[in-house]
Chain A
């Protein structure tokens, strides 16, 4: 109990100082607002439904990109993991594509798809592809060699080997990768919306900023943080439920 209280001390203090200094005029309230106004704004965007509309748009963009990028990453990651030679042959190609910052692709995606979900999803897909490629490759390569021998003894063909041995054995670590990529997808989706795409939570932030409503800006930031936090927490719970200690092990080896 005292631990929780001690942890709460700093945020409460910050909020209190913020509130008082903004109200007394020591802090620029027109650009920083103050906590009570932010709370009211946070409630207001829930009440008028704009939060849910924006969150839904961001989710659509993020999930679409995550699905495409993650599946491609897992597929190629399995191939690279099974064949060290393939992975090495593709190394220069992957190493020269990977350092491209995902946001550098925003203008290109905009050129190709115009505004909307597709453009957002394609940037998200690019950024979700890499973590899954790397984690899946590592996971497949880390599979107990005896399991591979079993597959050989049973005369499995490639498809059977992948679906019956490789994927189940690599699944805990791939799930960890998916969890990380889900967080990335949300961040990238919001970033794309802030930079270019006029939909979703990121654009709501920009609109609030352009109409000089810092209370609304902070309200949306708070909601975005909360959404990200609960997404990660629920995926962690799923990981614990499905994989138990295997998940913990995967966490530390990924």
Chain B
């Protein structure tokens, strides 16, 4: 039997995951490792189920996602607009690009203490930190996307007598789209990481604080449940963005 990349293979692959989970269950039943570190999966999922029936969990969930969304969306808008302006003009680029290269290697989380000093430990600090850190991947990728337009396409635009705005809209923007989305994907990951980290630091209600509190009081089943939730958030938001990308870039074909 030859299994190709089809649904059968996927099922087999799911089976392997179930096998791992069963193994984990078996190991914890045999008390091979301390239950404080590796609680049985049944206990972790039970805790997840219990949490999901309470309102506290959904409040934390909503808080974290709102902060992420606010930071991510504002960073994307600013990043794309600024990136387009910088990328489209070689004259502006000469002045700005070296500074961007200076900022590029800076770890996103390093700026958190500055925002704490500016705003204190609150929501405003969190959203600003998320937005600031997610801005750079979008901005840098957008600049790259706009500056690498094939020169011959620009010539075509000139021959067709397209106005500057039309050239940007019909030629430069579609060219930059894949790069922009690559930036958005990075920014999405960064925004989730920053949301978790800042919530841990600021001690405000959210998924990040949930897992810190669970770890501090040695509620390891709750901790695993929280990690599963964060993994799911990362997975689902990524899928959403991928869908949007496939929809917007459907003209590319595959």
Contacts and interface: CB of A to CB of B under 8 A. Distances in A.
Interface of A: 3-4, 6-11, 14, 28, 31-32, 85, 88-93, 95-97, 99-108, 110-112, 183, 186-187, 190-191, 194-196, 202, 205-206, 208-209, 212, 214, 217-218, 220-221, 224-225, 228-229, 232
Contacts of A104: 196, 208, 211, 226-227, 230-231
B153 interface: no
B234 A100 contact: yes
Contact of A111 (B10, B36, B108, B114): B36
B13 A191 contact: no
Interface string B123-164: 000000000000000000000000000000000000000000
Interface in B82-127: 94-99, 102-103, 105-114, 116-118
Given A88-B13, A93-B13, A108-B215, A191 B231 contact: no
Given A103-B196, A195-B201, A217-B114, A93 B106 contact: no
A32 B119 CA distance: 11
Most buried by A among B37, B113, B226, B238: B113
Interface of B: 3, 5, 9-10, 12-14, 16-17, 20, 36-37, 94-99, 102-103, 105-114, 116-118, 189, 192-193, 196-197, 200-201, 208, 211-212, 214-216, 218, 220, 223-224, 226-227, 230-232, 234-235, 238
* Nearest 8 CB-CB pairings of A with B: A7-B98, A107-B215, A99-B234, A209-B113, A100-B231, A228-B105, A99-B235, A187-B107
Dominant secondary structure at the B interface = helix
A3 B20 CA distance: 57
B15 to A, nearest CB: 9
A111 B105 contact: no
Contact of B193 (A32, A93, A102, A225): A102
Contacts of A93: 13, 16-17, 20
A113 to B, nearest CB: 10
A142 B37 CA distance: 40
A92 to B, nearest CB: 4
A10 B238 contact: no
A118 to B, nearest CB: 13
B10 A92 contact: yes
Contacts of B193: 101-103, 191
B192 A101 contact: yes
Given A99-B238, A195-B197, A209-B116, 7 more contacts: A7-B97, A91-B10, A101-B192, A104-B196, A104-B211, A187-B109, A194-B112
Nearest to B236: A99
A89 B113 CA distance: 44
B231 A97 contact: yes
A4 B97 CA distance: 11
A209 B99 contact: no
Contacts of B14: 92
Contacts of A224: 106-107, 110
A92 B112 CA distance: 35
Contacts of B238: 99
A224 B113 CA distance: 13
A101 B20 CA distance: 21
Given A6-B94, A32-B118, A104-B226, A228 B106 contact: yes
Contacts of A97: 231
B94 A3 contact: yes
Given A32-B118, A93-B17, A217-B114, A111 B220 contact: yes
B110 A205 contact: yes
A187 B231 contact: no
Contact of A103 (B12, B116, B197): B197
29 contacts: A3-B94, A11-B99, A14-B99, A88-B5, A89-B13, A91-B13, A92-B13, A92-B14, A92-B17, A93-B16, A97-B231, A99-B232, A99-B238, A101-B192, A101-B193, A101-B231, A103-B200, A108-B215, A108-B224, A108-B227, A111-B218, A111-B220, A111-B223, A195-B201, A196-B200, A217-B117, A225-B106, A228-B107, A229-B105
Contacts of B17: 92-93, 96
